[in-house]
Amino acid sequence: MNLLYLSSPGGGLDTNVRVLGPALVKAGHQVSILYIEHSRQPGLTLVETWQGCRLYRASAGAWHYYFHRATLGLTSLPVIIRSIEYAWALS
């Protein structure tokens, strides 16, 4: 089975992915991990193979953060902008 995990570096989700990924590879699955970051050059790149897992990194903008701050979190606009940023990062 081919599996793709979406994650961001650091935190509990990253820890979960880094524990489950190698275990699933040992069970015979193909595992890819896509990290969405906010501080890298645009584009999708294959960074490395780690314990049988393919690690990819994509860059997304941080405009959603600023819209969230400007609207005091009272609208859903930041969520929509974040979705658009992630779609651009993967295209």
**For residue 48, what are its two tokens?**
């490395």
Q: What is the pLDDT of residue 83?
A: 80
Of the candidates 72, 88, 91, 80, which has an alpha carbon nearest to the alpha carbon of residue 38? 88
Per the prediction, the chain carries an average pLDDT of 80
Give me the pLDDT at residue 31, please.
Answer: 93
pLDDT score, position 42:
61
The yes-or-no verdict on residue 29 having pLDDT over 90 is yes
In this structure, how many other beta carbons lie within 10 angstroms of the beta carbon of residue 58?
19
40 has a pLDDT exceeding 60: no
Give the model's pLDDT for residue 82. 77
Amino acid residing at 41: Q
Give the C-alpha separation, 31 to 25, whole Å. Answer: 6
